[in-house]
Structure 1
């Protein structure tokens, strides 16, 4: 008799079966079982954002989530956003604006920014949105607030904000 996996995860469009320890985090499953090492283990406590991935379009800290919880979810990691040969708009903007220095936080920053852009497009307010009933003006303060869960030890924040602004403008111009 065939044994059904505890969970079947869709990661970057590929199916992965999970049958391991139900306490295994999504982060460890991505890195150790799926071989997707772009997602980084920073603090392992949900405080730095280096492990940010998107689940069903929403950003999460994969170190705080169990792999078994994501049966049938659509998970996107940095590897699912672009390739070295075909960078995403956001990845190109990060390169153009030097939105990384050591690069350790960059995968989480880019995944978080990708989801943040979708949140803005969908009209979600943030803690600094003046009037939640009105589509927010996307100021640097607004971007910084929305990205506050992703830390950069090198302090490349100005460049990260510039990269996000460029990516948003490029996507707007393409629409």
Structure 2
């Protein structure tokens, strides 16, 4: 386990000088706080329940089994912004195939917007009626989460996705520490 006094270090970083910040980050990495090492199964359960609750869609058992296997067998580490951007480009190329695979393997249809989504800031249409819901990486994109059907969950923009699953204090942000800095 992670030493209890190391877990909540994000707030401290703002109050430290640069040298101390670098040392704190080294401690966090050594203890697994920042690196995404073996994750606490209770937090994973909370994350899945939170995602299901926010979207109104359950993850089928076969999908949960694939996720458990991936989390047990691979160490996910936060990537740099450049690595994350490259990972996103790859996903954009395979997204439609991944969604089709998700439909085949879950027996569900990927939901679509029944009306346009308008930006409150600009008044512009940001999602059109008939567009597919966002494909949320359950093991997050910034941690190199696989572009596979079992790592996807439909999430409506922005309420279920950015403001919901990725919202402040959400289990996703606790599980994937260091995503929002």
TM-score by length of 1: 0.29
- The structure that is strand-richer by fraction is 1
- Structure label with greater radius of gyration: 2
- The structure that is helix-richer by fraction is 2
